[in-house]
Structure 1
Amino acid sequence: MTKSLKLYTNPMSRGRIARWMLEEVGQPYEVEVREYGTTMKSPDYLKVNPMGKVPALVHGDDVITECAAICAYLAEAFPEAKLSPDASERASYFRWLFFAAGPLDSAVTNRSAGFEVAPELQRRFGYGSYENAVDTLAYAVSQHDYIAGDRFTAADVYVGMQVGWGLEFGTLDARPEFDAYWGRLKGREALQRASALDDALVKSA
């Protein structure tokens, strides 16, 4: 029996990353929107994600949270989509997926909140400085057409959305490397479908 997929999300959240990944996988899924401060913190949802945040993905009886984990999980759960890395791609796939979910995300969100790490404290932070994290991202996306090599993988969903949002909202410096990488991703049909679905939810709210 095929296990059902259910995405808990909000269209104004990182849930858009999970939605894009689900569209790439091409499997049917259900969506339940949770609202900030209310239904995200309700007792029933805290049983799904004790942090009270979205996205969360339920696959049968299994719960997956954190966008990078959702991307990697779906790639493995549905190998027919061919979004997992092959042997030659594994190192870069995991390296840059976890870099984007850890040091890069922390650097960008801290800076957008007005927090700057003092030089003498940088070794205490996984990203050191915002500039160091962004320089590293520029290196990562310039090594190949895609983050793990010459073809699109699940890691590009996560890294790609970080770059796309960074350029859209100005949380990343505009650089030719970012423009070129995002330019290879933004026209993907799965992303266009996912964006249209979430945009419709925003308009109906």
Structure 2
Amino acid sequence: MPSDLIFYTNPMSRGQIVRWMLEEVGQAYDTVILDYAASMKAPDYLAINPMGKVPAIVHDGRVVTECAAICAYLADAFPAAHLAPALDQRHAYYRWLFFAAGPVEAAVTNKALGFVVPEGRERTAGYGTFEDTIAALETAVAGDAWICGDQFTAADVYVGSQIDWGLSFKSIPSSPALESYAARLRERPAYKRQKEIDGALITEMQKQG
């Protein structure tokens, strides 16, 4: 029987973030693998995401795109997984979830593309400088706790994915705080399941050429 939760992805994409979140949630889901050249731009998928990119989910007919939004949505849709704090305790949760989706994403992408904010135009860029953005990010994950204290949440999945990816591909500079946080994330069973699933899909795709 088809699941009421459908996940559209490509294993070589930010879909890995949502796969990890889905594995943390622990609910059954169907996966639809799309390729960049054709199926992501096909009319049936553009009806789901007009941007023609992955990931996306459809849950009970409701479409959600953008990794941070999907993570937050899944945490609320499946409260039994305890991946969102109580409503009156969501200050750090929202703060760092959207900080990673906004300033961190912009600063890291711009640096990777060789874009440098002109001197004196830092306020226009919003995130200021790459160095200031990373320094602020470190404060979110310093110490031995998760972003929301003792509770692991969707914010850790999304922020942690940015850090894990950035350290692995050297788009984010290494530091003791970031390395320690990433090491704890990599021990989570759901993280390991995601890597195993997407790793196997990537291997199969490479075999097919």
Tell me the equivalent position of 1:139.
139
TM-superposed CA distance for 1:41, in Å, is: 0.8
- What runs of 5+ residues in structure 1 fail to find an aligned partner? none
| Conserved? CA contact 1:144–1:150, under 8 Å | no
Tell me the equivalent position of 1:59.
59
| Conserved? CA contact 2:3–2:30, under 8 Å | no
Q: d(CA) in 2 for partners of 1:117 and 1:139?
A: 23
% identical equivalent positions: 53
Q: d(CA) in 2 for partners of 1:126 and 1:33?
A: 35
Tell me the equivalent position of 1:96.
96
Tell me the equivalent position of 1:162.
162
Tell me the equivalent position of 2:37.
37
Tell me the equivalent position of 1:7.
7
- Matched to 2:123, the amino acid is R
| Conserved? CA contact 1:89–1:149, under 8 Å | no
TM-superposed CA distance for 1:119, in Å, is: 1.8
Which runs of structure 1 show a deviation greater than 4 angstroms over 4 or more consecutive aligned residues? none
Q: How many residues align?
A: 204
| Conserved? CA contact 2:85–2:151, under 8 Å | no
| 3-state secondary structure, aligned to 1:120 | coil
- What runs of 5+ residues in structure 2 fail to find an aligned partner? none
Q: d(CA) in 1 for partners of 2:13 and 2:87?
A: 33
- Matched to 1:142, the amino acid is A
| 3-state secondary structure, aligned to 2:181 | helix
**TM-score, normalised via structure 2 length:** 0.94
| 3-state secondary structure, aligned to 1:57 | strand
Q: d(CA) in 1 for partners of 2:138 and 2:69?
A: 23
Tell me the equivalent position of 2:177.
177
**TM-score, normalised via structure 1 length:** 0.96
Tell me the equivalent position of 2:70.
70
| Conserved? CA contact 2:3–2:29, under 8 Å | no
| Conserved? CA contact 2:147–2:155, under 8 Å | yes
Which moves more between the two structures, 149-158 or 92-101? 149-158
Which moves more between the two structures, 86-95 or 72-81? 86-95
1:104-146: CA deviation from partner (whole Å, max 9, x where unpaired): 0010011111111112211111211111110110111116611
TM-superposed CA distance for 1:52, in Å, is: 0.4
> Are positions 1:191 and 2:191 aligned together?
yes
Q: d(CA) in 1 for partners of 2:125 and 2:23?
A: 35
> Are positions 1:19 and 2:19 aligned together?
yes
| 3-state secondary structure, aligned to 1:28 | coil
RMSD value over aligned CA atoms?
A: 1.4
> Are positions 1:49 and 2:49 aligned together?
yes
